[in-house]
């Protein structure tokens, strides 16, 4: 398979200095990306999944040339991003997280035409392409309205439209559905799948595991700047098939009681989330034993005089893969 | 060609944005009128009830047109001031708005974006100056000398310095993340050293020496020679050349600092940081 993006042993370290009067300056090193290597093939959707601060955005920014890597090489369609930044940028359309990447005081059309000019399109070409993209994203009716009046979902669509202006073969989408309502998120995912059908290579970062699972041909899981797993979503889930996932909703208990579950034999991980609305604890338990431990867990909870509202034994998800590999939740 | 397209696209975007804030033109009408007035009235107050003291100032300034003398100085100062606030803070404003990275992702020489950003400042400076001239001509009956061609030459010669200073500020602010203090210090220094309301030779020698490193000192003098002292371009060529020469040095320095800050923020990752 032909490679669209090649990432070779890329590191990005940040340094912060702490100065104090009459004291030696203290330099702290932070490894945002720490020796990452992988390839993205032409025409695939590649999901980069990880919690906040894992290094996803830093990696995307290095691919786009916004950040210089401390070490390593990044090639986009064979072009070295560090040595030939502008040439590489011609092949990339990018949406960075959030809806602030466009001008709120301009109309949707003006935004697209402006970025078209910056991507080297001639005036007529930019107008035609903007029109086409507005139509495709369902923004034609509001094309001449100022963006500040748009909903978050519409602003996000304009940001996506901006990335589509150059008709670049590679699309980098950093948390494209962040902050969107469920319907807008579904619409945007459909649009992303359309781009794939057109043959575009897409790198998608997200911390929504369902999104990564649904959209991606392959997924890399990143944590603390390192790639800890990379495969097709199904393969990743199969890799932890021996681990069972049990989800409980419990009322009238405490964190201490739930912590006690970790002491049970064959329990691998216990993760707790307190649902403030329902005033219940949502507990995810990974264990290696199929059936018998379910009784053991329920016995333990009931002995502590807690009320079990729901019990589910589920197939592993990508989040379970992440929990299995790191011992923590994506939401942490 | 691509650079020109980018420069005009940035300018068009900035002008469209400005026009969507409906009160912007009030400052264009009011500011040129009231700002020089402060100095004019102060000079009248110092001159005494019969304004006898003005003759001393007229002797020092080399013209009887004291109001014109002050207006020219303050007009140039306003042009520099607008440039430093608008253009000097341009990249910072884009950064705060969240759009700087979007621009930086585009496959263009980022310097073209900065050049394009200067056009709005240039348009505003021209508007302020024109409005100032019209208002003082109509309201106070001040006579300006020279012709339109000479006025344009003086204006163009001032621009490399104004642009260069703006670029230096735009770049440094991108790195230092603080606009107000830097602009206030710079415009304060310029206000004192360039002689916007008095001839520079009344200052101590060391201040006069420093003043000669600022192109605006010579630009203001050239503008006064043409606009109120009825001199020709040839007669003030010394001021014109020094203003242009120093301005070009500012411009080159601005480009150099921009390139170096651009690299620095790519290493530190501070392009989007506030």
Does A247 reach chain B within 8 Å, measured CB to CB?
no
Please give, rounded to a whole number of angstroms, the shortest distance from the CA of B29 to a CA of chain A: 24
**Which residues of B are less than 8 Å from A61 in CB distance?**
269
Whether residue A180 is predicted with pLDDT greater than 80 in this model: the reply is: no
Higher pLDDT, B271 or A291: B271
Q: What is the pLDDT, as a whole number, of residue B204? A: 93
- Kindly give, in sequence order, each residue whose CB lies less than 8 Å from that of residue A280, ignoring residues fewer than 6 positions away: A249, A250, A251, A274, A309
- Is A205 within 8 Å of A175 (Cβ atoms)? yes
**Which residues of A are less than 8 Å from B9 in CB distance?**
113-114, 117-118
Half-sphere exposure of A74 (CA within 13 A, CB side): 25
**Which residues of A are less than 8 Å from B22 in CB distance?**
none
Whether residue B175 is predicted with pLDDT greater than 80 in this model: the reply is: no
Hey, are the CB atoms on A114 and B99 less than 8 Å from each other?
no
Q: What is the pLDDT of residues B27-48, one digit of tens each?
A: 888 888 888 888 888 888 888 8
User: What is the percent of chain A with per-residue pLDDT over 70, rounded to a whole number?
Assistant: 95
Whether residue A138 is predicted with pLDDT greater than 90 in this model: the reply is: no
Q: What is the pLDDT of residues B10-27, one digit of tens each?
A: 999 999 998 888 777 788
Hey, are the CB atoms on A106 and B105 less than 8 Å from each other?
no
User: What is the pLDDT confidence band of residue A259, given thresholds at 50, 70 and 90?
Assistant: confident
Would B146 be classed as within a structural domain? Answer: yes
Instruction: Provide the terminal-to-terminal Cα distance of chain A, rounded to the nearest Å.
Output: 36
Would B94 be classed as within a structural domain? Answer: yes
Q: What is the pLDDT, as a whole number, of residue A202? A: 96
Supply B32's token pair.
């040129």
User: What is the pLDDT confidence band of residue A320, given thresholds at 50, 70 and 90?
Assistant: confident
Question: In a 3-state reduction of DSSP, which class is residue A245?
Answer: strand
Q: What is the pLDDT, as a whole number, of residue A81? A: 95
Whether residue B274 is predicted with pLDDT greater than 60 in this model: the reply is: no
Measured CA to CA, the distance from residue A27 to residue A13 in angstroms comes to 12
ipTM for the complex shown: 0.84
Whether residue A302 is predicted with pLDDT greater than 90 in this model: the reply is: no
Give the nearest partner residue to B101 out of A87, A101, A166, using CB atoms. A101
CA-closest candidate to residue A248, choices A267, A221, A227: A267
Q: What is the pLDDT of residues B97-117, one digit of tens each?
A: 889 999 999 999 888 998 898
Would B91 be classed as within a structural domain? Answer: yes
**Which residues of B are less than 8 Å from A166 in CB distance?**
107
User: H or E element: which one contains A201?
Assistant: strand A201-206
Supply B9's token pair.
């696209």
**Which residues of B are less than 8 Å from A65 in CB distance?**
105, 266
**Which residues of A are less than 8 Å from B20 in CB distance?**
105, 146
Give the nearest partner residue to A115 out of B5, B17, B106, using CB atoms. B106
User: What is the pLDDT confidence band of residue B122, given thresholds at 50, 70 and 90?
Assistant: confident
Measured CA to CA, the distance from residue B56 to residue B66 in angstroms comes to 11
Q: What is the pLDDT, as a whole number, of residue A253? A: 81
Mutate to test the interface with B, among A117, A120, A123, A173 (most CBs of B within 10 A): A117
Distances (CA, A) of B160 to B101, B167, B193, B215: 27, 10, 19, 9
Model pTM score: 0.83
Whether residue A196 is predicted with pLDDT greater than 70 in this model: the reply is: yes
Does B19 reach chain A within 8 Å, measured CB to CB?
no
Give the nearest partner residue to A117 out of B9, B104, B105, using CB atoms. B9
Q: What is the pLDDT, as a whole number, of residue A290? A: 58
Average pLDDT over residues A156-160: 90
Mutate to test the interface with A, among B107, B111, B265, B272 (most CBs of A within 10 A): B107
| B148-176 and B90-97 helices, crossing angle to 10° | 50
Average pLDDT over residues A185-209: 89
Hey, are the CB atoms on A101 and B102 less than 8 Å from each other?
yes
Whether residue B273 is predicted with pLDDT greater than 70 in this model: the reply is: no
Buried b (16+ CB within 10 A) or exposed e, B106-138: bbbebbbbbbbbbbbbbebbeebbebbbebbee
Does A84 reach chain B within 8 Å, measured CB to CB?
no
Whether residue A217 is predicted with pLDDT greater than 60 in this model: the reply is: yes
User: What is the pLDDT confidence band of residue A98, given thresholds at 50, 70 and 90?
Assistant: low
Hey, are the CB atoms on B98 and A86 less than 8 Å from each other?
no
Distances (CA, A) of A4 to A226, B130, B159: 21, 55, 46
Return the residue of A nearest to B100 by Cα: A101
Would B8 be classed as within a structural domain? Answer: yes
Q: What is the pLDDT, as a whole number, of residue A331? A: 60
Would B21 be classed as within a structural domain? Answer: yes
Whether residue A289 is predicted with pLDDT greater than 70 in this model: the reply is: no
Q: What is the pLDDT, as a whole number, of residue A212? A: 86
Would B273 be classed as within a structural domain? Answer: no
Q: What is the pLDDT of residues B63-95, one digit of tens each?
A: 888 888 888 888 888 888 888 778 878 888 888
**Which residues of A are less than 8 Å from B5 in CB distance?**
117, 120, 122-123
Mutate to test the interface with A, among B5, B24, B102, B103 (most CBs of A within 10 A): B102
Ranking A79-83, A116-120, B160-164 by mean pLDDT, the lowest is: B160-164
Average pLDDT, chain B: 87
Average pLDDT, chain A: 87
Return the residue of A nearest to B93 by Cα: A103
Whether residue A315 is predicted with pLDDT greater than 80 in this model: the reply is: no
Measured CA to CA, the distance from residue A160 to residue A176 in angstroms comes to 8
Hey, are the CB atoms on B13 and A119 less than 8 Å from each other?
no
For residue B73, give its domain range. Answer: 2-268
Would B158 be classed as within a structural domain? Answer: yes
| B66-82 and B24-47 helices, crossing angle to 10° | 140
Q: What is the pLDDT of residues A40-95, one digit of tens each?
A: 999 999 999 888 888 988 999 999 999 999 999 999 999 999 999 999 999 999 98
Would B73 be classed as within a structural domain? Answer: yes
Mutate to test the interface with A, among B11, B94, B105 (most CBs of A within 10 A): B105
Give chain B's domain count.
1
CA quadruple A310, A314, A317, A319: dihedral positive or negative? positive
**Which residues of B are less than 8 Å from A113 in CB distance?**
9
Give the nearest partner residue to A14 out of B105, B109, B269, using CB atoms. B269
Average pLDDT over residues A153-161: 89
User: What is the pLDDT confidence band of residue A97, given thresholds at 50, 70 and 90?
Assistant: low
């Amino acid at each position: 398979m032909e490679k669209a993006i090649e990432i070779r042993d890329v590191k990005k370290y940040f340094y912060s200095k702490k100065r104090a009067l009459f004291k030696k300056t203290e330099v702290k090193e932070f490894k945002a990306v720490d020796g990452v290597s992988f390839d993205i093939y032409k025409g695939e959707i590649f999901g980069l999944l990880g919690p906040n601060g894992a290094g996803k955005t830093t990696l995307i920014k290095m691919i786009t040339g916004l950040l210089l890597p401390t070490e390593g090489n990044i090639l986009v369609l064979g072009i070295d991003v560090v040595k030939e930044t502008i040439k590489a940028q011609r092949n990339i359309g990018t949406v960075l997280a959030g809806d602030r990447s466009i001008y709120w005081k301009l109309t949707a059309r003006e935004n697209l035409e402006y970025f078209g000019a910056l991507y080297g399109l001639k005036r007529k070409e930019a107008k035609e392409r903007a029109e086409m993209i507005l139509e495709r994203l369902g923004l034609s009716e509001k094309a001449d309205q100022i963006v500040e009046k748009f909903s978050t979902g519409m602003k996000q669509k304009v940001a996506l439209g901006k990335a589509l202006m150059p008709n670049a073969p590679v699309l980098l989408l950093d948390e494209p559905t962040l902050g969107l309502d469920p319907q807008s998120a579904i619409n945007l995912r459909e649009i992303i799948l359309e781009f794939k059908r057109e043959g575009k290579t897409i790198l998608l970062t997200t911390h929504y595991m369902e999104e990564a699972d649904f959209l991606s041909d392959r997924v890399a899981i990143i944590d603390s700047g390192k790639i800890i797993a990379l495969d097709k979503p199904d393969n990743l889930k199969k890799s932890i098939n021996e681990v069972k996932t049990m989800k409980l909703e419990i009322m009238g208990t405490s964190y201490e009681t739930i912590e006690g579950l970790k002491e049970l034999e064959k329990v691998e991980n216990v993760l707790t989330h307190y649902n403030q609305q329902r005033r219940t604890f949502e507990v995810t338990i990974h264990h290696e034993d199929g059936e018998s431990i379910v009784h053991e867990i329920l016995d333990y909870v009931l002995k502590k005089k807690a009320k079990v509202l729901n019990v589910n034994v589920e197939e592993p998800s990508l989040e379970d893969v992440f929990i299995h590999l790191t011992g923590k939740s994506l939401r942490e | 060609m691509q650079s020109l397209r980018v420069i005009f696209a940035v300018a068009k975007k900035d002008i469209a944005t400005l026009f969507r804030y409906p009160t912007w033109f009030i400052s264009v009408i009011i500011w040129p009128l009231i700002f020089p007035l402060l100095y004019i009235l102060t000079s009248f107050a110092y001159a005494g009830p019969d304004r006898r003291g003005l003759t001393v100032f007229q002797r020092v300034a080399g013209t009887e047109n004291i109001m014109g003398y002050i207006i020219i100085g303050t007009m140039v100062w306003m042009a520099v001031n607008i440039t430093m606030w608008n253009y000097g803070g341009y990249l910072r404003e884009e950064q705060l708005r969240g759009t700087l990275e979007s621009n930086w992702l585009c496959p263009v020489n980022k310097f073209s974006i900065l050049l394009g950003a200067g056009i709005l400042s240039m348009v505003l400076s021209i508007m302020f100056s024109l409005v100032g001239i019209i208002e003082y001509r109509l309201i106070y009956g001040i006579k300006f000398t020279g012709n339109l061609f000479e006025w344009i030459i003086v204006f163009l010669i001032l621009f490399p310095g104004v642009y260069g200073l703006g670029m230096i500020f735009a770049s440094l602010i991108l790195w230092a993340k603080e606009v107000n203090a830097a602009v206030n210090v710079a415009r304060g220094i310029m206000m004192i050293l360039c002689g916007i309301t008095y001839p520079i030779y009344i200052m101590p020698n060391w201040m006069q020496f420093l003043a000669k490193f600022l192109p605006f000192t010579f630009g203001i003098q050239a503008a006064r020679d043409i606009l109120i002292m009825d001199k020709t371009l040839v007669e003030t060529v010394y001021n014109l050349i020094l203003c242009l020469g120093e301005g070009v040095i500012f411009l080159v320095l601005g480009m150099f600092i921009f390139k170096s800050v651009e690299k620095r923020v790519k290493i530190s990752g501070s392009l989007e940081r506030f």
